[in-house]
């Protein structure tokens, strides 16, 4: 269990670092494009497809697992906190299971779409420059696959310590079960 947890933590950290690097590179790329356009009257060719098809996709999909690990996704807790502890545990279990199914379906669908884009050699053409965009289609299933694994791991940890269901609620790891938490 601890090896799996450690592997997930490393993968989440790597995905997060790549997402952060994409944001930094996007900032540099756009700045260089603006300087080229307004100072030298020569914008960088392909900036729009590179920014929208590479940087933004990486920045949006790879860090999904970090946000889940930190339980940072948007949640509405107006009624939830008023519910009895047992009902909150059941709802947390159901939400985690549903999230696993939804992200697994997204992984499957986006993987199949990525394979189609690869087979056709999908590209974008801007300012006389051909930019391959089929590789970016593999980023979505990579990000959704990792969040699926995180949710499944959280579900397994939840089921293994059902006597303390609050351990997986809103960023709280259960101190007695360090080997099963990714918080």
Average the pLDDT over 129-148 and give the result: 96
Q: Which segment of 48-52, 56-60, 69-73 scores lowest on mean pLDDT?
A: 69-73
| Structural element, H or E, at residue 131 | strand 129-132
What pLDDT, on the 0 to 100 scale, is given for residue 1? Answer: 67
Residues 169, 175, 181, 183, Cα dihedral to 10°: 60
pTM equals: 0.82
Q: Is pLDDT at 173 greater than 60 in this prediction?
A: no
């Amino acid at each position: 269990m601890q090896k799996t947890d450690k592997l997930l933590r490393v993968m989440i950290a790597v995905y997060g670092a790549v997402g952060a690097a994409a944001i930094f590179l996007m900032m540099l790329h756009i700045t260089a494009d603006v300087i080229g356009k307004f100072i030298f009257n020569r914008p960088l060719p392909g900036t729009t497809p590179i920014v929208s098809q590479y940087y933004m996709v990486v920045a949006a999909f790879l860090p999904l697992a970090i946000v889940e690990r930190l339980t940072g996704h948007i949640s509405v807790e107006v009624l939830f906190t008023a519910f009895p502890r047992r009902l909150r545990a059941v709802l947390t279990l159901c939400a985690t299971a549903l999230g696993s199914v939804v992200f697994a379906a997204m992984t499957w669908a986006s993987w199949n779409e990525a394979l189609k884009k690869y087979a056709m050699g999908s590209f974008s053409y801007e300012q006389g420059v051909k930019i391959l965009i089929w590789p970016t289609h593999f980023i979505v299933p990579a990000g959704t696959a990792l969040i699926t694994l995180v949710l499944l791991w959280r579900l397994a940890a939840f089921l293994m310590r059902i006597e303390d269901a609050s351990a997986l609620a809103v960023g709280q790891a259960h101190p007695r079960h360090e080997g099963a938490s990714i918080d």
